[in-house]
Amino acid sequence: MGTMSVVGKTLALDADGHLANRADWNEDLAREIAAQEGIPLLTPQHWAVINYMRTIFEKEGDAPSIRRLTKESGVDTKTLYQLFPKGPAKRASKIAGLPKPKGCI
């Protein structure tokens, strides 16, 4: 399993390259992961999605699918893909410090 280095700290990653320990996560780290994912700036709309994902994970133990994000977060699919190019559920969960959604099996 891999690791990532940020400001002198080495953090463990899972097999999918997401943070292995959720306790490692904070908002600065989110910005760092986002930058590595090619998203240089997290806007309030990004944060709305990230926070929504964290809330659902907290409650249900799994991050929501794109379909559910569209249905419940108030951000439509097209915009989700603009905010988190290539795979909104995967990308947003990675930035949110959560494992890859299990719906992707």
Partner 1 sequence: MRHLLILGGGTAGTMMANKLAPVLDEQEWQMTIVDISEKHYYQPGFLFVPFGTYSLRDTVKPRRQYLPAGVKVVISGIDHIEPGRKEVVLSDLSTLKYDYLIIATGADIHPEQTEGLLDEEWGKSKFDFYTPRGTERLGQFLKGWQGGKLVVSITEMPIKCPVAPLEFLFLADAYFTKRGMRDKVDLHLVTPLSGAFTKPKASQVLGDFLERKKITVTPDFGLARVDSKEKKLVAWDDTEVGYDLLVSVPTNMGDACIERSGLGNELNFVPTDKETLLADGLENVFVIGDATNLPSSKAGSVTHFQSEILFENFLEHIEGRPMTARFDGHANCFIESGFGKGLLIDFNYLTEPLPGEFPLPGVGPFSLLKESSINHYGKLMFRWTYWNLLLRGIELPIGSAMSMAGKRA
Q: Where are the beta strands (DSSP E) in 1-82?
A: 3-6, 9-12
Residues between 50 and 69 that touch partner 1 (CB under 8 A) = 62, 65-68
Give the pair of three-digit tokens for residue 41: 């700036």
DSSP 65: P
Binding string, residues 3-22; x marks residues near partner 1 by CB under 8 A: ------------xx------
Residues marked as catalytic: 104
Binding site for partner 1 (CB under 8 A): 15-16, 62, 65-68, 71, 77-78, 80-82, 85-88, 90, 102-105
